Structure 1
């Protein structure tokens, strides 16, 4: 989320030395200050391995001892903080410096041996059973360099893979699913792959009623006597009861479901235990009431906090059906999607029913409610190119409006900004949004079974925005119907209908004469118009919830189109045109297609350093009823989440150079490219630093007279790509991250000749930009 952007930063041509970095550098150059006599500082660890072996980044995870972290891989900054401290730890400043830094890592021969053994075990687990790991230790003036040399030799590969089978009827689905096995001939004898295969088979059975099955029931027999470094792998299954091999693995069928509404989990366990675990618990204790609805039981105190029908509709576990772990996971997802539910916990217990190998289960869905209503107020200061202002917002939410987990949200926002420090020439914005989210998929003419298969909610929204500037007064009103759903880490949104009406009751005559002449492309963006669009967007992240020390990537994309239905209807009816366009009551409607895609990755280098990068592309094209995109649908460049050497909306399009003030009308385009690279390093406490570089720009698809140099040219567009670099400081408070970035222009395509390379002559006021924002840029 972007908070504000400060104006350019003036850099004097006479550079002054900064005291603190110099002191830190000197401290880092005395790494042996706190190394005891007879000990050695672990200065460097090198890993040398053959190309076909796993990457050194992966192998580093098996090191038991690593050197002190180096900032940007060069300076032991944290060790420098520690070395700045004095020996007297009773003084606060010394304790502070030591907490900010880290003590010297002393070489430990035992840790080196443990690392060597761990690396060899890892290589053996990857099929390199004859792998060797050698170590070499070099001493130099109190410092130590340890080198690990890894050789895999010829690995073992899989010749064949089969399932042994057993008299147990559980063997049949396993045999049928063998074509989908993860283990393939010629693959390395990788223990992780074998374990993943056990997980695949286990989940296969858990989807077919085998509630109590787990990976420990499966084992592998590996026969490598065939020779030539090949092995035959056979999957086996242990009996359900070791003392009774003939006893088959049971299947479980769900008999009853209990919704425990704000009832502690311990209550049903204690009650069941009191009744001998027979499963005959009826929850008829004084503190709780039970509402029976077929095979569902609603257990509550006083009054259910939500309509029980909503819980049943969002529950994917069905009484009378075999247990299915996927339906349990979907039930978790649906319950957690209800904003009224704070926590969800699902448990199953055998109830003693059933005959033969089929047994009965009772399911307990324990639900903890969230607060029904919430009210928040925010106030913030803004600064746009030196124009100071203030903005505030109020929001209200009701998570159970009609007692069916419907969520009502109302937001109101207002902003004021004094343009050019002249309070008689100001900017104001007032707006609000009202939305209602229903906890299920609402669409006519669809069967209940289909709606159950789609885990989506339905959102109705209304919004209004009034923007007043000296140049114009703009009002935007919109209404939309959208569907939101998620599966795992994939989130999707379908905007079924989104209707917007842009009304321009006032346009300044001077502004109109300058920008909105008859031939100006901007004229169409400052006329009344309708936008009736349909869109789809998605986002996927490979980051596991709660895991922070793994590499991950994210993918985002969106596609929307507008005006097609209206244009087709008018064409079929042979309706007359007003000029070149169809109109609705003398008001044009927009027709365009727009798409965006972004890929970003955050790779772990070590415990304190990450490398993040991203690439994003967006393109939009007007056609049919429109000659130009609506202003609010165009792309902009520069700012905290774009090319950070430029302030927000001050870059491009192409080589176009805006005026002395923000030329936001002309600095917009139809095509956008964003690329970024960022090295993130933990400093101390909650602070981390960043070194970043950004590339990007926007272009127009057509040649507009008001934007000279802005059109995209495939032959030489690379010359128009702007570049910037800079430093960042971040404070990570877990629940949010505060970011401060200083960006410097490196290459400015709007200038001529060598002046484009700003890094060669940094002496202008606007060669720098400071950005304050929340969250990472990507």
Structure 2
């Protein structure tokens, strides 16, 4: 409660700050001179049609001041800063005759001088100027420059004789104006013929063989972008066809027509020029035709030290490679040669060089390699030297974190790992890690008599830089796809968290990347065993379930036949409650044995509680396999216009079910097959996750995410294990609900941890800069979870078809983010706009206020 009041105070302070800034915003023109005009808008018209293309609008040099939802925040922050804080301080200091003398006596003259440089006097203004934005006043010189850039852009598109002008439109509001750019394009020039002038006969042959792929074609409108892309294409083509030293600067185009002369046909001829190779040696220019090069010899230096001698190294020949090493070769020769994509006597390909760099880096055994090519005297053959500088054999990592959650008031976590490289001589990496945590429970009485939680775990992970399989997969998954195999095993112990779990897991997985945008991952074996070591704590952990059961039992608390089910507690509203676990379990057994007669609704509720307790307290064995396909069009971290697509398919229990026909299994009282005394899970699960970002302008981004997940139990299971089910709410999902509080369906937070086997989620977020590294966001989150094809019988929780889409919850809100460069700290406030758990019109905006808002803290963006 105290934390909520503090948060409300902070929100109030933020509101007051925004109010102050709004008042200050009334003087937007404070620093705009009498003979100046504040730029409010840019408009571009091309042949009388308005242009909204962000690329073209980006050519304008002067842009209006940025705004946050229409409010010029950064401009008004800048206006709050004093122009000359030093002069203002001196004026204040000498405004009264004895002020300076009194300050000198109180602080000393040196401290008064330092006060002038303090944050209050000068630093605040400097800070406001730094995060603010000066008013953008119209500068006709910059306006003419913008017009020239627009004309140049359209000339690059073939409109060589376009013309333009601009106008300054003053509105009714004083000292404000808009800029309007108008361009008349005229007729574009069309490429009539493409001629060539290629100095090297070998390049000429390569060019002719690729004419079908050319981007500069007869009959197309002139577009300078196509010419630039064609130069890049030809450079890539030649460097992948043996010309290792080809330079893009050797390619040029001539336009064989005076484009300043107007004509009816507007046709033009183009000539492609590819000059000779030009190099500088001993200050003498050397020009020679480009030649195709073959690889004569490939040397691998496995123990290279920068600046070290190579003459004393030993060597061996392996598969047409020469491997140099010091003292003894610590690597399997095949592991080295498999990472090199050059082949002796083959032509040079730049693609092989790039793949070699990627694969050697992927080994995680060597630092970034250095590859050298030396031509021989014939200028047709190359000697390739690959220098490999090894990483340290061992490395140690230590991490320490402070955590907080709805269970822990505060917690500390540590982890350590030891990495061993080149374990078996084939560039394998062994990672042995241990982790632990201890925390103070938020309410120890709910979970345990002890106030602390603890967790301890460890993993052993070994990675092979190849597909580790009985059959050769190189033809299907070649080494340039960066194949990896991972074998891991681990365990984890939790105490005073939930039902106190112990888990064992083992994974055999493969992953490979055909390109930088595509990735495949196959977990051939994903085995997880979860043992609940304290199942008697169920009703302490799942308090909502216990309260529902205790409310039903209240009708029998005065019956002497059931007196041992209850205990007297210090609670005026409910002085007698079921004891945990004996009383609660006996009451359920008595009801299910028909020794207590309940109405049908209460009987169904007790039956559901019993099934949920059995499900959540029983041990789980998950023997699964899965496949994940991932595609990402993002070029780099600065690319804000991209998409991501992920598909995952998972099946569990099929192998164990298959061999049950050969090896007979025992069964429990629910007719489930048991392995080591535990019923194994059997289900099929599929997930689709799509993310799309649009770069609007001025660092504004629209981000969208859609997710669909479905897990269907069958065979040996009638429900999905808790650890593989779905939940709604939380900082990365629907932010108007806390994690596990949303759903299923239209139910109103029935359980402490609500989960189901069907999930649909849609998220939309508008991100915008506020000031400096502070960012803002407006978001809308929609979605819910449901039960389907399992043993759930509550109709409000079951997905029955399109009508169930009316149960999709909608949350909206706003967020503040601070960009620390390496990560983003995020605070989101979500409001329930549509709550399917309510009835009728109360579903809309009933809890749309700060009192019912949900505050989420997160690291980095949610999607």
After TM superposition, the score normalised by the length of structure 2 is 0.77
Alpha carbons of 1:735 and 1:17: their partners in 2 closer, same or farther (altered >3 Å)? Answer: closer
Q: In the aligned structure 2, how far is the partner of 1:567 from the partner of 1:703? A: 19
Question: Are 1:497 and 2:539 matched, yes or no?
Answer: no
Which structure has the highest strand share of the two? 1
Instruction: Return the match for 1:22 from 8, 16, 19.
Output: 19
Question: Are 1:729 and 2:816 matched, yes or no?
Answer: yes
Question: Are 1:38 and 2:35 matched, yes or no?
Answer: yes
Instruction: Return the match for 1:193 from 218, 226, 230.
Output: 226
| Residues 596-626 of structure 1: CA deviation (Å, up to 9, x unaligned) | 2222233323334222222222222223332
Alpha carbons of 1:137 and 1:202: their partners in 2 closer, same or farther (altered >3 Å)? Answer: same
Alpha carbons of 1:618 and 1:236: their partners in 2 closer, same or farther (altered >3 Å)? Answer: farther
Aligned position for 1:710: 797
Question: Are 1:629 and 2:671 matched, yes or no?
Answer: no
Aligned position for 1:413: 436
Question: Are 1:463 and 2:507 matched, yes or no?
Answer: no
Aligned position for 1:3: none
Question: Are 1:424 and 2:449 matched, yes or no?
Answer: yes
Question: Are 1:255 and 2:297 matched, yes or no?
Answer: yes
Higher mean displacement: 712-721 or 241-250 = 241-250
Aligned position for 1:275: none
* 8 Å Cα contact 1:239/1:249 also seen in 2: no
Q: In the aligned structure 2, how far is the partner of 1:213 from the partner of 1:23? A: 62
Instruction: Return the match for 1:369 from 388, 391, 394.
Output: 391
Aligned position for 2:310: 283
Aligned position for 1:335: 360
Alpha carbons of 1:658 and 1:194: their partners in 2 closer, same or farther (altered >3 Å)? Answer: same
Question: Are 1:400 and 2:491 matched, yes or no?
Answer: no
* 8 Å Cα contact 1:416/1:429 also seen in 2: no
Aligned position for 2:154: 123
Question: Are 1:205 and 2:232 matched, yes or no?
Answer: no
Helix, strand or coil: the match of 1:677?
A: strand
Aligned position for 1:592: 683
Helix, strand or coil: the match of 2:68?
A: coil
Aligned position for 1:747: 834
Aligned position for 2:503: 476
Alpha carbons of 1:167 and 1:56: their partners in 2 closer, same or farther (altered >3 Å)? Answer: closer
Q: In the aligned structure 1, how far is the partner of 2:777 from the partner of 2:393? A: 39
Aligned position for 2:203: 170
Aligned position for 1:277: none
Please show how residues 88-237 of structure 1 align to structure 2 within 5 Å: 88-90=84-86, 91-140=122-171, 141-150=174-183, 152-156=185-189, 168-182=201-215, 188-220=221-253, 228=265, 235-237=272-274
Question: Are 1:775 and 2:800 matched, yes or no?
Answer: no
Alpha carbons of 1:755 and 1:304: their partners in 2 closer, same or farther (altered >3 Å)? Answer: farther
Instruction: Return the match for 2:731 from 640, 654, 662.
Output: 640
Task: Report the number of matched residues.
Answer: 742
Q: 1:159 Cα shift?
A: 6.7
Q: In the aligned structure 2, how far is the partner of 1:438 from the partner of 1:325? A: 26
Q: 1:462 Cα shift?
A: 0.8
Aligned position for 1:762: 848
* 8 Å Cα contact 2:366/2:388 also seen in 1: no
Q: In the aligned structure 1, how far is the partner of 2:671 from the partner of 2:268? A: 74
Q: In the aligned structure 2, how far is the partner of 1:634 from the partner of 1:573? A: 30
Q: In the aligned structure 2, how far is the partner of 1:52 from the partner of 1:497? A: 61
Question: Are 1:602 and 2:689 matched, yes or no?
Answer: no
Aligned position for 2:72: 76
Q: 1:223 Cα shift?
A: 6.8
Alpha carbons of 1:453 and 1:764: their partners in 2 closer, same or farther (altered >3 Å)? Answer: closer
Helix, strand or coil: the match of 2:789?
A: coil
Q: 1:328 Cα shift?
A: 1.1
Alpha carbons of 1:214 and 1:559: their partners in 2 closer, same or farther (altered >3 Å)? Answer: farther
Alpha carbons of 1:634 and 1:648: their partners in 2 closer, same or farther (altered >3 Å)? Answer: same
* 8 Å Cα contact 2:81/2:125 also seen in 1: yes
Aligned position for 2:275: 238
Question: Are 1:560 and 2:645 matched, yes or no?
Answer: no
Q: In the aligned structure 2, how far is the partner of 1:162 from the partner of 1:523? A: 80
Helix, strand or coil: the match of 1:383?
A: coil
Q: In the aligned structure 2, how far is the partner of 1:658 from the partner of 1:441? A: 46
Q: 1:291 Cα shift?
A: 4.5
Higher mean displacement: 43-52 or 112-121 = 43-52
Q: 1:341 Cα shift?
A: 3.6
Q: In the aligned structure 2, how far is the partner of 1:29 from the partner of 1:370? A: 63
Alpha carbons of 1:734 and 1:62: their partners in 2 closer, same or farther (altered >3 Å)? Answer: same
Please show how residues 432-443 of structure 1 align to structure 2 within 5 Å: 432-443=458-469
Alpha carbons of 1:655 and 1:550: their partners in 2 closer, same or farther (altered >3 Å)? Answer: closer
Alpha carbons of 1:599 and 1:518: their partners in 2 closer, same or farther (altered >3 Å)? Answer: closer
Alpha carbons of 1:729 and 1:428: their partners in 2 closer, same or farther (altered >3 Å)? Answer: same
Q: In the aligned structure 2, how far is the partner of 1:25 from the partner of 1:608? A: 23
Alpha carbons of 1:707 and 1:383: their partners in 2 closer, same or farther (altered >3 Å)? Answer: farther
Gaps of 5+ in 1: 1-5, 269-281
Instruction: Return the match for 2:743 from 610, 634, 652.
Output: 652
* 8 Å Cα contact 1:520/1:704 also seen in 2: no
Q: 1:723 Cα shift?
A: 1.4
After TM superposition, the score normalised by the length of structure 1 is 0.84
Q: 1:169 Cα shift?
A: 2.6
* 8 Å Cα contact 2:711/2:757 also seen in 1: yes
| Residues 643-676 of structure 1: CA deviation (Å, up to 9, x unaligned) | 11111121112212114xx621xx2122222222
Alpha carbons of 1:16 and 1:393: their partners in 2 closer, same or farther (altered >3 Å)? Answer: closer
Helix, strand or coil: the match of 1:29?
A: helix
CA RMSD of aligned residues (A): 3.8
* 8 Å Cα contact 1:392/1:415 also seen in 2: yes
Helix, strand or coil: the match of 2:405?
A: strand
Q: 1:124 Cα shift?
A: 2.8
Alpha carbons of 1:645 and 1:344: their partners in 2 closer, same or farther (altered >3 Å)? Answer: farther
* 8 Å Cα contact 1:638/1:644 also seen in 2: yes
Helix, strand or coil: the match of 2:201?
A: coil
| Residues 58-93 of structure 1: CA deviation (Å, up to 9, x unaligned) | 112212121221113x11111111111122344222
Q: In the aligned structure 2, how far is the partner of 1:517 from the partner of 1:106? A: 70
* 8 Å Cα contact 1:397/1:407 also seen in 2: no
Q: 1:459 Cα shift?
A: 1.0
Helix, strand or coil: the match of 1:723?
A: strand
Helix, strand or coil: the match of 2:449?
A: coil
Alpha carbons of 1:378 and 1:16: their partners in 2 closer, same or farther (altered >3 Å)? Answer: closer
Q: In the aligned structure 2, how far is the partner of 1:51 from the partner of 1:621? A: 58
Alpha carbons of 1:193 and 1:697: their partners in 2 closer, same or farther (altered >3 Å)? Answer: farther
Q: 1:481 Cα shift?
A: 0.9
Alpha carbons of 1:431 and 1:447: their partners in 2 closer, same or farther (altered >3 Å)? Answer: closer
Instruction: Return the match for 2:339 from 308, 314, 321.
Output: 314
Helix, strand or coil: the match of 2:153?
A: helix
Larger Rg: 2
Alpha carbons of 1:608 and 1:309: their partners in 2 closer, same or farther (altered >3 Å)? Answer: same
Alpha carbons of 1:162 and 1:670: their partners in 2 closer, same or farther (altered >3 Å)? Answer: farther
Helix, strand or coil: the match of 2:468?
A: coil
Alpha carbons of 1:342 and 1:137: their partners in 2 closer, same or farther (altered >3 Å)? Answer: farther
Alpha carbons of 1:148 and 1:717: their partners in 2 closer, same or farther (altered >3 Å)? Answer: farther
Q: In the aligned structure 1, how far is the partner of 2:14 from the partner of 2:362? A: 54
